[in-house]
Amino acid sequence: MLFLFVCRFNMAPIDEKDVGLKTDLITINPSQIKGYRNLQKRPGPLMQRVNIYGNASLIMPAFASPQNTRLSVSALKALWPPRPQLRVIFFSSSYLKTLDHFWKGHGLRGNRLSTGFMLINVALELCDHVHIYGFWPFDIDLQQRPLPHHYFDNKGPKKGVHSMPEEFLHLLQLHSQGVLTMHLKPCL
């Protein structure tokens, strides 16, 4: 039996017409949590934002850095009391270290792996077939047209934090080996 599990990244907006509504797992980057001020007293805006994903689980790289830990725990405290059924997942610190060590051993030089790259690795460990859409780290498409960083905004990572082009090359290599399927053409 084929089971479709949809992961989305960086609290991406969803809609029925363009990207679909199904969401089983959504990443929240701790840098996005910064935009929600005073979470303990005002959890409403963040709660409203994650409610669009229904019963999807939320995953955060809480232990990638001390600042991420502080922000992720703050988000957990804000989200969990009002919705105790909500599953908030933190990547294990030992998993993140092992993953970082593995990829650095294979030539990846970024300071930290991107959340997207982390979750693609998790999917490769858990799923028989992995298809990735929209993982394109360049500011132009294959026809040399300008592109935003995400389909929903143009906020890229801080310079020097991630090595998105290198991550892309590793994913492209996995694609060429048949380990995963990269979809690079525009979705219709």
pLDDT at 67: 86
pLDDT at 68: 87
Residue numbers of the chain with a pLDDT score lower than 50: none
pLDDT at 179: 97
- At residue 13, the 3 state secondary structure works out as coil
127-162 b/e with 16+ CB inside 10 Å = b?
A: eeebebebbbbeeeeeeeeeeebeeeeeeebeeeeb
Nearest CA to 180 out of 142, 138, 123 is that of: 123
pLDDT at 112: 83
pLDDT at 154: 63
pLDDT at 110: 79
Q: Which of the residues are catalytic? A: 162
Query: Considering the entire predicted model, what is its pTM?
Result: 0.82
Residue 20 phi/psi, 5-degree rounding, is 85, 170
Query: Cα dist. 150→44, 126, 154, 172 in Å?
Result: 25, 25, 6, 19
